[in-house]
Amino acid sequence: MNMLKSLVGGLLLVAVGCAAPEASHSKKSQLVADMKRATDHHSFSKPDEAVTTHLKWDARVDFDQRQITATATYQIQTAKDAERLLLDCRDLTIHSVTVDGQEAPFELAPVRPFLGQPLSIPVTGSTQEVSVAYTTSPDAAAFLWVEGASPFLFTQSQAILARTWVPCQDSPGVRFTYEAHVEVPTELMALMSAVNPTEKSADGHYDFVMEQPIPSYLLALAVGNVEFRSVGAHTGVYATSDLIDAAEYEFAEMEDMLVAAEGLYGKYAWERYDLLVLPAAFPFGGMENPRLTFATPTIIAGDRSLVSLVAHELAHSWSGNLVTNATWDDFWLNEGFTVYFEQRIMEAVYGRDISEMLSTLSYQGLVDEVDAIMDVNPNDTHLRLHLKDRDPDDGMTAIAYDKGYFFLRLLEETVGRRTFDSFLKTYFTSHAFQVMDTDTFLDYLNDNLLNTEELRSAVNVPAWVDGQGLPGNCPEVKSARIERVDATLNAWTLGNIASDALPWSDWLYQERYRFLSNLPDNTDAARLAELDAAWDINSTGNNEVLFAWLEQAVRSQHTKAYDRLRTFLVGVGRRKFLTPIYKAMVETGQTELARDIYKEARPNYHSVATGTMDELLGFVE
Ligand code: BES
Ligand code: ZN
């Protein structure tokens, strides 16, 4: 325990750039006060006054009540004149609070939409420890509880849902180390974004340690009947027994990706990289929880064709987890860098043909999304967002991801790959365990990369960061394979090539996806029936292809695919698939069908997905 404490202290001091581990208390307070932090509109906390540095979480998971009862004990650092510690809470029942071991009063301010409420705890300039005993709500937005033969609980904390299961300073600008003791039903294994077990304990008790300081959005817990398989020296997979063989095969190249990533931008900071296959209700493709990526089972295609998602989550181990966006307005610093890094890992492991096909697809997705956003809220096409008074979830569009990617690609093409790689490597190394906001990054960029007028005007940073749409100097991507698909599609549309003569079986998933997602909206249902007869698309194991197919089936009212449509929508909770399909139903006058399927599917979805779908389908509980 003592060793842990001093290690934690050491890391923390490194993280905030102080040299002396034996710093006196007043020096420490100074340090807290001096630390530059951007204002985060999505947290009530005031870390400049009192900041949490280490969490000890003691919790019991109750599947029957769908609740966690826990105590969160924080080590804190306070400014000399500190009067209170503010923690973000949402839907938590607070039982009691102690300050340095003494029972203390506490206040909960009124609840605000999606932000929850601040919990205010009285402290002084010499307070060291604060403890909160509480219970979560059965409707806690971070959780998804799966019942049945294989019960499962997982959390999704990003962006501001950690506060629904742990009272915390829920701002990416606050980092803390943690340890946890978690009790779960005996037949289940508990896993966190921390050092994890590889076997079930006999009594359902598990201990966790996370020695590197992380922001709250990377707090994660999963509880399920899973097993572990090693796939490399530092990598492995967790999945339920029905999926573990498939997962072991699908993700066998994780160690190669890790080696490639380290070769590009420096040493991996988190020791192990494991992946947990979640139930299909997981609302995202992947979530970069440190040491343990959470992933949707829909990337298990049987042929390793969808592993770019693993490259993406792995890349976050640098962009995001090591150098963290200061606020959700700076989200592109997490995701844009990660998509760029993902592409580089894919290129290193699978070759440029593959990575260029992926870039071509993301370019198309970006152009479509820019068009769509320009109609609604043009300023949301800026890389730098303005999410004050809005749900940070609104910022989760292709802009941060793919406009961010193309901006970095433009930098690479402007200065050359060698120069850009050494810039990025130094950027990650010199800002490790720190936050980054857009202005600080732009200063760093000007000083270290775009250091001539010529370079600056070639890139035109303001047009990308604070300008609308896609600037005229956006790099072009070309993929010969994708161009051939486009020509084939054109010929098929004109009737110059028969459905059963398409080179479908020679096509990789990216090519099949391109073909299906670019079918004209008004394609006749009879022609889709032809495609299905020739290629049996309803039974593909590739969920990206299936998704593109089902969306088109909806648009063409190819009703023969509607049984598959229903099982897909009821069985899969990944929002990226759900939104376009339900939207297509609404846009084509099939809202009644959409509502009917949604009624059946909704109990299976996570709050992140129901939040979007309720609005889309006008659903009121
Ligand atoms: N960190 C994100 C997921 C996220 C972002 C959750 C914002 C909540 C708020 C994750 O790394 C991600 O980007 N996932 C993508 C996959 C990726 C390959 C683009 C997803 O889930 O679709
Ligand atoms: Zn991401």
For residue 286 and ligand 1, the question of a CB distance below 6 A is answered with yes
Q: How many whole angstroms separate alpha carbon 48 and alpha carbon 54? A: 16
- Residue 3, pLDDT score: 37
User: Is 87 strand, coil or helix?
Assistant: strand
Q: Give nearest CA residue, ligand 1 atom 11.
A: 287
What pLDDT is attached to residue 621? 78
Is the Cβ atom of 309 under 6 angstroms away from ligand 1? yes
Residue 286 · residue 154 · CB < 8 Å: no
Residues 6+ apart with CB under 8 A from 112: none
Question: What pLDDT, on the 0 to 100 scale, is given for residue 35?
Answer: 60
The neighbour count for residue 368, using CB atoms within 10 Å, is 12
CB 515 within 8 A of CB 507: yes
Q: CB of 392 closer than 6 A to ligand 1?
A: no
Residue 21: the pLDDT is: 36
Site to probe by mutation for ligand 1, drawn from 284, 296, 341, 607 as the one with most ligand atoms within 8 Å of Cβ, is: 284
pLDDT digits over 565-602, tens only? 999 999 999 999 999 999 999 999 999 999 999 999 99
pLDDT in tens, 103-147: 999 999 999 999 999 999 999 999 999 999 999 999 999 999 999
Residue 620 has a pLDDT of 87
**Secondary structure of residue 422 in the 3-state scheme:** helix
How many angstroms separate the Cα of 521 from the Cα of each of 160, 347, 513, 529, 558? 37, 33, 15, 15, 12
Whether pLDDT at 30 is above 50: no
* pLDDT tens-digit series, residues 167-222: 999 999 999 999 999 999 999 999 999 999 999 999 999 999 999 999 999 999 99
Catalytic residue among 313, 342, 356, 369: 313
Q: For residue 165, is pLDDT > 60?
A: yes
CA distances from 492 to 495, 519, 553, 619 (A): 5, 10, 17, 40
User: For the chain, what is the mean pLDDT?
Assistant: 94
pLDDT digit string (tens) for 211-253? 999 999 999 999 999 999 999 999 999 999 999 999 999 999 9
Q: Is 396 in the pocket of ligand 1 (CB under 6 A)?
A: yes
Q: What spacing in Å lies between the alpha carbon of 315 and ligand 1's midpoint?
A: 12
Pick the closest to residue 183 from 318, 71, 89, 342 (CA basis): 71
Sorting pLDDT into bands at 50, 70 and 90, what band is 285?
A: very high
Give the mean pLDDT of 331-356.
98
Measure the CA–CA gap between 63 and 325, rounded to whole angstroms.
Answer: 34
Residue 454 known to be catalytic: no
Q: How far is the CA of 275 from the centre of ligand 2 (A)?
A: 15
For 268, phi and psi rounded to 5 degrees?
-70, 130
Question: pTM of the full predicted structure?
Answer: 0.95
Q: Which tokens sit at 162?
A: 């950690």
Spatial CB neighbours of 211, under 8 Å, sequence gap ≥ 6: 4, 7, 8, 11, 177, 195
305: nearest Cα among 230, 365, 379, 361: 361
- Looking at ligand 1, which residue's alpha carbon is closest to its atom 20? 285
Q: Is 401 an active-site residue?
A: yes
Average pLDDT, stretch 7-30? 38
Contact 138, 195 (CB under 8 A): no
Ligand at minimal distance from the CA of 398 is 1
| pLDDT of the residue at 37 | 81
Q: In whole angstroms, what is the distance from residue 159 CA to residue 137 CA?
A: 19
3-state secondary structure string across 30-52: HHHHHCCCCCCCCCCCCCCCEEE
From the alpha carbon of 296, which atom of ligand 1 is closest?
21
CA distance 15 to 525: 59
Pairing of strands 93-99, 102-104: antiparallel
For residue 15, the model assigns a pLDDT of: 37
**Ligand 1 atom at minimal distance to the Cα of residue 288:** 11
| Residue 32 Cβ < 6 Å to ligand 1 | no
Question: Which one-letter DSSP state was computed for residue 17?
Answer: T
Q: Is 307 in the pocket of ligand 1 (CB under 6 A)?
A: no
In this prediction, residue 186 carries a pLDDT of: 96
Q: Which ligand is nearest to the CA of 402?
A: 1
Ligand nearest to the CA of 543: 1
Q: What is the distance, to the nearest Å, from the Cα of residue 413 to the centroid of all Cα atoms in its chain?
A: 27
pLDDT score of 10 more than 60: no
- Angular region, 389: left φ>0, alpha ψ -120 to 50, beta rest: left
Nearest atom of ligand 1 to the alpha carbon of 396: 7
For residue 366, which of 335, 330, 320 has the smallest C-alpha distance? Answer: 335
Condensed to tens digits (0 to 9), the pLDDT of residues 516-561 reads: 999 999 999 999 999 999 999 999 999 999 999 999 999 999 999 9
pLDDT attached to residue 139: 98
Q: Is 355 a residue whose pLDDT tops 80?
A: yes
pLDDT(56) > 50? yes
Q: Are strands 205-215 and 189-192 parallel, antiparallel or unpaired?
A: unpaired
- Residue 345's pLDDT is 98
From 74, 340, 363, 401, active-site residue? 401
Q: Is the CB of 602 under 6 A from ligand 1?
A: no
